[in-house]
Amino acid sequence: MSEFIKGIGHFGLSVSDLDESIHFYAEVLGLEMSERRGKDAFFRVGTDDVLALIQYPGDAVRFDTEMRPKNRGKAFTHFGLMAESAESVFGFQNHLKASGVEIVKEAYERWDGASVYFLDPNGYTLEFIYYAPDAERIE
């Protein structure tokens, strides 16, 4: 580990519509919003991590033109949310589909566990991933 950097305190995403994004992260993903301040909303992820959603300046058209990921799930840029088990990955995929969420890559078992890739309302790719405890991981 770095002599200076001790972890990730938070990660932030610019969003097209803060209310729509709050609904997605709270109601669909089940994350707890810890605070909302004006054009920012903060969610607890696990015990120590925070996701910050930041309203992009301007309207949705400006966001689409300037910010929306152009590859919409076709690039490898993403972040992963931790799952408890391989079974929960497949169950969560069913929940996402029932909620109308676009699945980028169907749930599958992989050499180190299981994962599913999906899009948030802003076009960001997210992964729900389980790492098997006995699998060799890159740290």
Report the CATH number that the domain containing residue 3 is assigned in CATH: 3.10.180.10
Same structural domain for residues 106 and 52? no
Number of domains in the chain: 2
Which pLDDT score is estimated for 68? 83
Residue with tokens 């919409």: 72
Partners of 35 in the beta sheet?
Answer: 42
Please tell me whether residues 76 and 123 are part of one structural domain: yes
Does one domain contain both 75 and 59? no
pLDDT at residue 86, as a whole number: 95
Q: What is the pLDDT of residue 1?
A: 60
One pLDDT digit (tens) per residue for the chain, 139 residues? 677 777 778 899 999 999 999 999 999 999 999 999 999 999 999 888 999 999 999 888 899 898 887 877 777 788 899 999 999 999 999 999 999 999 999 999 998 999 999 999 999 999 999 999 887 766 5
Asked whether residue 112 falls in the same domain as residue 83, the answer is yes
Q: Which domain holds residue 78?
A: 69-139
pLDDT at 90: 98
Q: Specify whether 85 is located in the same domain as 132.
A: yes
Beta bridge partners of 128: 81, 116
| pLDDT score of 137 | 63
Q: Would residue 62 be called left, alpha or beta, if left means φ above 0 and alpha means ψ between -120 and 50 degrees?
A: alpha
Give me the torsion for CA of 106, 110, 112, 116, rounded to 10°.
0
| The pLDDT value given to residue 47 | 86
The contacts of residue 79 (CB under 8 Å, 6+ apart) are 11, 124, 126, 127
